[in-house]
Amino acid sequence: MRVWIGCGGYTNDDWAAPGLIYEGVKKDAYLETYSRYFDAVELNSSFYAIPGLKAFEGMARKSAGRTRFAVKLNKVFTHDRAPTDADYDRMLQSPGPLADAGLLGPYLAQFPYSFHRTADNRKYLLGLAERFAGHELAVELRHASWDKPEVREGMAEYGLIWVSPDYPPVGGMPEPQVHVTTDVGYLRLHGRNKGSWWEGGSAAERHDYLYNRAEMDEWAEKIALVADDLSELYIFFLNTTRGHALKNIPMLREALNARGVPIQTPDPGDEGRLI
């Protein structure tokens, strides 16, 4: 199993704080710097506006072939749920430069908590799967009504990747387990900030959480149990607020290595800072 580990987005201004990896780095060099530390990234900007070919060409160039990109579907697919044929064409064609460079990971469909398991929503998800046939599509379903073996069996039938989540213990959402529906796994660690998950005014507040070593050991154990079932596993830390993810990723790497799951750790070079 090849494990890819990174963060939700790379344009995190919090990381320009003293001692963190963007200290003294210009914004247009963030991706170049990020790619020296992490071999995967979840692209957030595509949720708000689908970048064009030139933007993706720039990402491939700046990351210097070191980083895999999981591309989040635009909100028209997951929140508005009214994509046009043009939206599908742009979403599938624009990341072409990443695919050509061997840097394209799965697409990510991040559905909101309000997307319950209803007949209409099941039909919509099936249609989405059909339109993305031939492409890896990871699906995050935040409402607990989807957290059932029969749902995962259906996803496996259509080649959809179940996104295994770690959410705060607030109830009503899927349990923190690693489930396998294809030979590619996908794990999103949101942190466990129970107090601000529903009430937080921003994503930064909701993800303001630093995992402790025991919590990283817990996830390493779960990952080790499915290692033989996967060819690849993508792990993304969403707790980028105040650099928490920068501290947690080395913890998880160490915990996985200790359990016989080999991790390829990028070498940031002579100028790299310890994180």
Q: What is the pLDDT of residue 199?
A: 86
**What type of residue sits at position 180?**
V
Collapse the DSSP code of 211 into the 3-class scheme (helix H, G, I; strand E, B; otherwise coil) and give the result: coil
Query: What value does the mean pLDDT take over residues 69-84?
Result: 98
First to last CA, the chain: 25
The rounded distance, in Å, linking the Cα atoms of 130 and 149 is: 21
Q: What is the pLDDT of residue 201?
A: 81
What confidence category does residue 272 fall into, taking pLDDT thresholds of 50, 70 and 90?
A: low
User: Is a pLDDT exceeding 90 seen at residue 275?
Assistant: no
272 or 61: which carries more pLDDT confidence? 61
What confidence category does residue 270 fall into, taking pLDDT thresholds of 50, 70 and 90?
A: low
Tens digits of per-residue pLDDT, 2-24?
999 999 999 999 999 999 999 99
Element (H, E) at 185: strand 184-189
Query: What value does the mean pLDDT take over residues 44-73?
Result: 97
Q: What is the pLDDT of residue 266?
A: 87
Asked if 247 and 275 count as a contact pair (C-beta separation under 8 A), the reply is yes
Average pLDDT value for the chain: 96
Q: What is the pLDDT of residue 264?
A: 87
Tens digits of per-residue pLDDT, 161-204?
999 999 999 999 999 999 999 999 999 999 999 999 998 789 99
What confidence category does residue 267 fall into, taking pLDDT thresholds of 50, 70 and 90?
A: confident
Closest CA to 40 of 73, 23, 65, 12: 65
* pTM score of the predicted model: 0.96
Q: What is the pLDDT of residue 271?
A: 57
Tens digits of per-residue pLDDT, 106-129?
999 999 999 999 999 999 999 999
Cα angle: 174, vertex 163, 97; to 5 degrees: 155
Q: Could you give the percent of the chain with pLDDT greater than 70?
A: 98
User: Is a pLDDT exceeding 90 seen at residue 139?
Assistant: yes
User: Is a pLDDT exceeding 60 seen at residue 274?
Assistant: no
User: Is a pLDDT exceeding 60 seen at residue 208?
Assistant: yes
User: Is a pLDDT exceeding 70 seen at residue 72?
Assistant: yes
Q: What is the pLDDT of residue 151?
A: 98
The rounded distance, in Å, linking the Cα atoms of 80 and 53 is: 24
Class of domain 2-258: alpha beta
